[in-house]
Amino acid sequence: MSVTKETNEMHGPESAPGVFRPKVIAFCCNWCSYTGADLAGTNRIEYPADVKIVRVPCSGRINPLFILRAYQRGADGVIICGCHPGDCHYTTGNFYARRRMTLMFSMLDYLGIDRNRTGLDWVSAAEGARFGKVMNEFVQKITDLGPNKQLEDIRCKI
């Protein structure tokens, strides 16, 4: 199978032949980051359409298995966005997320997944422009890394 055909199969028919468009999953907390994404959309701040946002109640509620499952399903990159430390709607959720991500990076290293494919950032509800900037920078970093080949042998075909 050629790289172009494989890339198109993994990333949908909207991809131009020979052009890699990364599939990025963004887990965003309901209270800050998701609202920041909404503000970015309202203000027409552009970021790649290949970013699929998953709204979660709090960044502290993200199970590390969610990230592994995203990679298993073909994601090229996963980013977690939450409230700024100290501003969490649930008081300490983002501190738990930060601790879990430290352990998650160790697990990703063990599995052979480049840790640069996973990001953690803090975006408040009033930072629509920052949300767009974070997503653009993260997608550019994933584009530079290329397609994610790890976990390909157990990837779900849907």
Per-residue pLDDT tens over the stretch 32-76: 999 999 999 999 999 999 999 999 999 999 999 999 999 989 999
The hierarchical CATH code for the domain 27-144 is 3.40.50
Q: Where are the domains of the chain?
A: 27-144
| Global confidence as pTM | 0.85
Would you state the pLDDT for residue 17? 75
Measured in whole angstroms, how far is the alpha carbon of residue 17 from the centre of its chain? 24
CA 109 to each of CA 77, 98, 106, 150: distance values in angstroms, whole numbers, following the listed order? 14, 17, 5, 11
